[in-house]
Amino acid sequence: MLQLLPTSRCCYRRLYPQTRQLSGRYSIVPSRAFSVQRACRDEHPQKPSKPPVLRENIYTIPNVLTVSRILACPVLGWSILEGNFSLATGILAYAGITDYVDGYVARRCKMQSVLGTILDPAADKALMATLTVTLTMKGLLPMPLAVIILGRDVLLSLSAFYFRFISLPQPRTFRRYWDFSLPSAEVKPTEISKINTALQLLLMGVTTIHPLLAVDLSTALSILQWTVAGSTIWSGAGYLIGGRGVKILGKRENKNSGIS
């Protein structure tokens, strides 16, 4: 390769028209060589690279606290059926404290994860289903209200499985479906769903501790039951009509579901 001064480049190109410029330098290479190289590139095109597969750390303190709330649900149900409302009240207090702590730690220590956005509402649903079934069996909740609450939760749970399937990166296998280190959809509750969840937890909490109190709260509980029935139907209708809730990762448009 010949090194050329900037002042002599024009003259050199006139003398050697077959010269090719590479990175600011000149080399004498026959034009035929460039044709062969171009033909080889055309004959063996490079395959487009696959997009990287997202993975995240799911073994975090917030996720552990959330899982502990789920594991406490069977003990909660047993204590209510056995009439041990003191133990049930303690478990409810633990669930409320850990629900606040895991969210605070996730935000403060930057331990937020896509799995956490799925586990947190799942823990709320498991807790709500346990309370609804056991309190209804004890005659402390009316059956129609239990049907409304559980029916909405079943519908939203089925939609969560559906969104997980359609958003999972290829290949969609059974093993990859249950590999939650592969985030595919992010769940974000709607405002009405948050209000509904708070009202439901308030109703279940007051109903659970009512047998321990010397005050009659029957009228207040009846009003709260009607309020929860309305908010549950409203949030469920918002899901059916098109409430926001699920964001498919890797796509610009959000899929709506209202899951909370």
Question: What tokens appear for 95 in the block?
Answer: 């669930």
Indicate whether 11 and 97 sit together in one domain: no
Per residue in 225-246, pLDDT (tens digit) is: 999 999 999 887 776 665 455 5
Peptide bond connecting 171 to the previous residue in cis, omega within 30 degrees of 0: yes
Per residue in 138-173, pLDDT (tens digit) is: 999 999 999 999 998 888 777 767 666 666 767 777
Number of structural domains, the chain? 2
Indicate whether 23 and 107 sit together in one domain: no
Per residue in 169-188, pLDDT (tens digit) is: 677 776 766 665 565 555 56
Residue 130 has pLDDT above 60, yes or no: yes
Check: CB of residue 236 under 8 Å from CB of residue 214: no
- The reply to whether 215 falls in a domain is yes
Indicate whether 103 and 182 sit together in one domain: yes
- The reply to whether 257 falls in a domain is no
Average pLDDT of the residues of the chain: 75
Evaluate the CA torsion angle 104, 126, 222, 83 in order and state its sign.
negative
Helix or strand run (H / E) with residue 96: helix 85-108
- The reply to whether 1 falls in a domain is no
Which is more confident, 241 or 3? 241
Calculate mean pLDDT across residues 77-102.
Answer: 93
Q: Which range marks the domain in which residue 32 is found? A: 6-43
Evaluate the CA torsion angle 222, 192, 91, 187 in order and state its sign.
positive
192 contacts: CB under 8 Å, gap ≥ 6: 231, 234, 235, 238, 243, 258
Indicate whether 83 and 212 sit together in one domain: yes
pLDDT tier at 68 (50, 70, 90 boundaries)?
A: very high
Bridge partners (DSSP) of residue 19 are 28
Q: Classify residue 133 as exposed, middle or buried by CB count within 10 Å of its CB (0-12, 13-18, 19+).
A: middle
Indicate whether 31 and 116 sit together in one domain: no
- The reply to whether 30 falls in a domain is yes
Indicate whether 17 and 100 sit together in one domain: no
Indicate whether 111 and 20 sit together in one domain: no
The helix/strand/coil state of 20 is: strand
Which residue is associated with the tokens 């909490």?
Answer: 205
Q: In whole angstroms, what is the distance from residue 110 CA to residue 239 CA?
A: 30
Q: In whole angstroms, what is the distance from residue 204 CA to residue 230 CA?
A: 16
The DSSP call for residue 141 is S
The pLDDT of residue 257: 42
